[in-house]
Amino acid sequence: MIPRDQESTRSGGGWLHWLSTLTDMMAYPLKTSHYVELVNPLWTTHKMQARVEAVWDETSHARTITLRPGANWRGHRPGQHVRIGVAVDGKHYTRTYTVSSAPERGDGCFTITVKAIDGGRLSHYLVRKLKVGDYVPVGLPQGDFYLPDASPTQPLFITAGSGITPAMSMLRSMLAQQRMANSVHIHYAPSPQETIFGQELREIDAAQKHYTLHEIHTAALAADDPARHFSLENLARLCPDWQSRDCYACGPADLLRAVEATWEEAGLAHRLHIERFRADLAEVPDDAVGGRVRFANSDLEVEADSATNLLRVAEDAGLNPPHGCRMGICHTCNTTLKSGCVRDLRTGEVLNEAGAIVQTCVCAAAGDCELDL
């Protein structure tokens, strides 16, 4: 028996493929899709784009952007992320953002919620300058940070700042499916006004008997107040049955490190699911040195310190190297070390063999070095 998708390929798909091949031959050296893009960028098949349908300020530093993706898009699972590309000052940048909407929203759109971070070129552009009607390249949803489909689960969400976004997608999805799980949510934000989705979270808390929200507003607490930070004591107070729940945590590295240590110490690491926005970096040793970085293919040489990743060094030098996640996952930024030394900022490992593969987004100069860029 022929599977459905193959069957359609053999009947309708066959002549469509033939037609597409024919038009591609006529369009050579481009593809038909390149001309289609001039009519509607969402119809292209050689790359995926999305149109900005709406923007909405969640707080003074965070904005929700509604995107309508084009051909080839497939739905996300709540908690997954997508890659978004934007050209800023003539250079192309890519970043990964969690989808904040539920897959069930039904209008063909999805949202990302972006917080402008200090020194974040793309986040500032997305929050301050992107406007309705703009088109941005997008990738397909990825990631394994999501609730299981079938088995009943009792989630404990621990989030901070913009780490709320994957949890929000999960909550919205459970609400849309009218199957809100018995959930406890501990969320850290500076103040009620600076809490992304604050009002919506409070409304869910008021309306859903299975959902309990604990907001911790750090700006209102003294610097030495133990309630300000995550700790086992605070956890046990806010969620006494935490050991019997599956924990979904997302937020800054310090919070995630503390959560990870608590679950490991309790022998419950298998019940902890973590989503990081940045790579977890090791301390750079005090005696670490940077060096001169030579980009061989560009005939460019710049000075770099021991902590700045080589992707950033290359971009600051005016190059536009390939990249994706910027946190050591996707390997899009891989290049070859031609000579010299680099340090992997996650592990502290020093690479000094010519021919070694260097992930430029998580490696820094550890002396002079030459890269195949």
Q: Give yes or no for a contact between 63 and 57, defined as CB atoms under 8 angstroms apart.
A: yes
Establish if 359 lies at the interface with ligand FES (CB under 6 A): yes
* Of 153 and 332, CB closest to ligand FES: 332
For 331, residues 6+ apart whose C-beta sits below 8 A from its C-beta are 359
Alpha helices in 10-68 (DSSP H): 14-27, 32-39
For 10, residues 6+ apart whose C-beta sits below 8 A from its C-beta are 2
Which two structure tokens, joined as six digits, stand for 120? 């974040």
* Of 156 and 345, CB closest to ligand FES: 345
* Least CB distance to ligand FES at residue 73 (A): 21
The span from the CA of 296 to the CA of 373, in Å, is: 6
* Of 141 and 324, CB closest to ligand FES: 324
The span from the CA of 147 to the CA of 103, in Å, is: 13
* Of 259 and 351, CB closest to ligand FES: 351
Establish if 42 lies at the interface with ligand FES (CB under 6 A): no
Q: How many CB atoms sit inside 10 A of residue 348's CB?
A: 14
Residues 272-331 that bind ligand FES (CB under 6 A): 323-326, 328-331
Which two structure tokens, joined as six digits, stand for 10? 């053999």
Which position among 50, 272, 333, 345 is part of the footprint of ligand FES (CB under 6 A)? 333
* Least CB distance to ligand FES at residue 334 (A): 7
Establish if 332 lies at the interface with ligand FES (CB under 6 A): yes
Buried b (16+ CB within 10 A) or exposed e, 40-56: ebbebeebbbbbbbebe
* Of 70 and 139, CB closest to ligand FES: 139
* Least CB distance to ligand FES at residue 96 (A): 8
- E-assigned strand segments in 192-271: 211-217, 246-250
Establish if 343 lies at the interface with ligand FES (CB under 6 A): no
Binding mask 217-256 for ligand FES (x = CB under 6 A): ----------------------------------------
* Of 186 and 314, CB closest to ligand FES: 314
* Least CB distance to ligand FES at residue 319 (A): 14
Q: How many chain residues interact with ligand FES (CB under 6 A)?
A: 12
Q: Using DSSP bridges, classify how beta strands 91-98 and 350-351 pair: parallel, antiparallel or unpaired.
A: unpaired
* Least CB distance to ligand FES at residue 129 (A): 23
Establish if 92 lies at the interface with ligand FES (CB under 6 A): no
Q: Give yes or no for a contact between 177 and 206, defined as CB atoms under 8 angstroms apart.
A: no
Q: Give yes or no for a contact between 64 and 75, defined as CB atoms under 8 angstroms apart.
A: no
The span from the CA of 238 to the CA of 56, in Å, is: 32
Instruction: Specify the amino acid at residue 235.
Output: L
The span from the CA of 203 to the CA of 205, in Å, is: 5
* Least CB distance to ligand FES at residue 218 (A): 31
* Least CB distance to ligand FES at residue 365 (A): 16
* Of 332 and 352, CB closest to ligand FES: 332
* Least CB distance to ligand FES at residue 83 (A): 9
Which two structure tokens, joined as six digits, stand for 102? 């539920």
Residues at the contact surface with ligand FES, assessed by CB under 6 A = 323-326, 328-333, 359, 361
